[in-house]
Structure 1
């Protein structure tokens, strides 16, 4: 291995310019690139993005989606120096800022910029520090020295680009760093590294030869959300898609589940109607009271009959009386609902 190539200094760089450098290098001469946050997506283990969506972005066929959690991402960025500060305080290691963007010495597509570097106090060994933040419900992912796989892939990629042997995370999720901070270490593993770059080589080949990945192995909800971002609204007038017999089992499975949902909904409707008779008797007793109780020898039956108010805009009145205001505030949302039916031949 050899030291990485310094491509540029990102200090003071606008986000737009940084994205340009990440996509094709500062000179625009790298056809396709991979950054640390891309690795988990390429392996199909990212909770946020699918390989196909990333592939379409890298090919320039779609723009990255606007992040729904922009404020959360901004908060995470603002917490990086705090996480770095308490990492240094907890470990005694020296933390160093590094604003350069680097290129792997052997794999020209592999670019990286690091949150921080550190020097291990015990032996002067240099390392890469990744600063993360999460919610309390995600804190268990960092218990007892563990870390999420998608972040492990990112940090191992950085160790390879930087050509250093140790790395660490500093992850914060609360306001008490004595309890709400995890600082697990990671040691370079050449076998895992070779596996990572073998997959990345295949990924670059797929871009160069226009071979998009599939949604195979991707969680269904993530796949559906990603496909909606990729293809957007349906286009009237396009020809009917002809499915092959090998796809019949997916269609039959959907039809079966669709029928089961219809049966359960019908049963729910019947049960709801049956509840109306005892509901009327109970309401007659409750009158204008909100709470009732029946004590038995084994338990208490608690009755709540509380009025709740809901305020909604009268859109019909708004449109009629204030058409200009209505046109300013109206918002159109799009969704595509899948429906399958069977027709006789």
Structure 2
């Protein structure tokens, strides 16, 4: 089994220099590279980035977008040593730093920075540790030993660099390591590694031959649509009508059908809401200033709430009238595009 090729020690390296090394190697002689965080994106499984966006960035045709949550990312970086500490405490395994940037011996485009390495207490076997943190509402993704698929791909990618059998995560989401910590472990699977690198090889080929990836493999269609809107921008009036080939008939008809069903559901909801309002008039008359009511029956009880909810929001008409300059200054422009399909007889 091949060993990873050490390229450079990243300890104390500036972020700018680190990004340069990750993009093209420390000597700048690798045309295209793949890092651990890229793998899930290439598979269409990243919750944050699509394959086409990453491809355009690698080709230099799109700038890396500014992170919308830099403070959260910094917090995750600061929590890494804490996650590593509690992993060592919970498992008894010896954890140590590894600040080297590695190149894969069999796939030169593949580069890796591991969070930590560890030695298992039970048998002295080496392993790779990934330290993560998340918010409480994401903790369920780690329940009962589960691992988010996009993170598992990253760890298996790292495990392929060296002759290690084990990989592990230490994920924190609170301040109680007894309940707010997940430390799942995985074993090496060379079959999965072969699948990963078959995909990555094709990805590098697509960069070299200027063949951008399709977006229909993205696991989250909403993410793909948002990315396409960012990449291509606003629609332009006056451009010629696109003629679609016959293979698109089924999805187009399906869109038209489902859009019709959505319109029917909205109309039905509107009818129900009007009926609710009609029945509610007499109830509101009885409730007057009271917030709660009850009707007891022989089988159950009906609980009625009629509570005032106060919301405060700017009166845009008054703001525009009294402070037109301020109104113009705070206007937020948003753009959106939505596919709409109509079926017309020939």
3-state SS, counterpart of residue 161 of structure 1 = coil
Q: Which runs of 5+ in 2 are unaligned?
A: none
Q: Which runs of 5+ in 1 are unaligned?
A: none
- After the TM superposition, which residues 7-86 of structure 1 pair with which residues of structure 2 at under 5 Å, given as runs? 7-86=7-86
Q: What residue in structure 1 maps to residue 290 of structure 2?
A: 289
Q: What residue in structure 1 maps to residue 252 of structure 2?
A: 251
CA distance in 1, matches of 2:138, 2:7: 35
1:218–1:178 distance in 2 versus 1, CA, 3 Å: same
Deviations 1:31-72 (A, max 9, x none): 110001111222233333332222222222222333344433
* Worse-matched range after superposition: 107-116 or 230-239: 230-239
CA distance in 1, matches of 2:92, 2:307: 58
Preserved contact between residue 2 and residue 161 of structure 2 (Cα < 8 Å): no
- After the TM superposition, which residues 301-320 of structure 1 pair with which residues of structure 2 at under 5 Å, given as runs? 301-320=302-321
CA distance in 2, matches of 1:264, 1:328: 39
CA distance in 2, matches of 1:30, 1:300: 72
Q: What residue in structure 2 maps to residue 102 of structure 1?
A: 102
Question: Once superposed, which parts of structure 1, at least 4 consecutive aligned residues long, lie more than 6 Å away?
Answer: none
* Worse-matched range after superposition: 96-105 or 138-147: 138-147
What is the CA-CA distance between 1:144 and the residue it aligns to?
Answer: 4.4
What is the CA-CA distance between 1:282 and the residue it aligns to?
Answer: 1.7
- Kindly indicate whether residue 194 of structure 2 is the aligned counterpart of residue 194 of structure 1: yes
Q: What residue in structure 1 maps to residue 340 of structure 2?
A: 339
CA distance in 2, matches of 1:82, 1:322: 51
Q: What residue in structure 2 maps to residue 164 of structure 1?
A: 164
- After the TM superposition, which residues 255-270 of structure 1 pair with which residues of structure 2 at under 5 Å, given as runs? 255-270=256-271
Q: What residue in structure 1 maps to residue 153 of structure 2?
A: 153
Preserved contact between residue 97 and residue 116 of structure 2 (Cα < 8 Å): yes
3-state SS, counterpart of residue 276 of structure 1 = helix
* Worse-matched range after superposition: 67-76 or 24-33: 67-76
3-state SS, counterpart of residue 293 of structure 1 = strand
Deviations 1:199-234 (A, max 9, x none): 211110111111122223433233223323332322
Preserved contact between residue 65 and residue 229 of structure 1 (Cα < 8 Å): no
Q: What residue in structure 1 maps to residue 329 of structure 2?
A: 328
1:257–1:191 distance in 2 versus 1, CA, 3 Å: closer
* Worse-matched range after superposition: 101-110 or 184-193: 184-193
Preserved contact between residue 32 and residue 204 of structure 1 (Cα < 8 Å): yes
CA distance in 2, matches of 1:236, 1:163: 57
TM-score (norm: length of structure 1) = 0.90
What is the CA-CA distance between 1:158 and the residue it aligns to?
Answer: 0.9
* Worse-matched range after superposition: 186-195 or 93-102: 186-195
Q: CA RMSD in A?
A: 2.3
Count of residue pairs the alignment pairs up: 345
TM-score (norm: length of structure 2) = 0.90
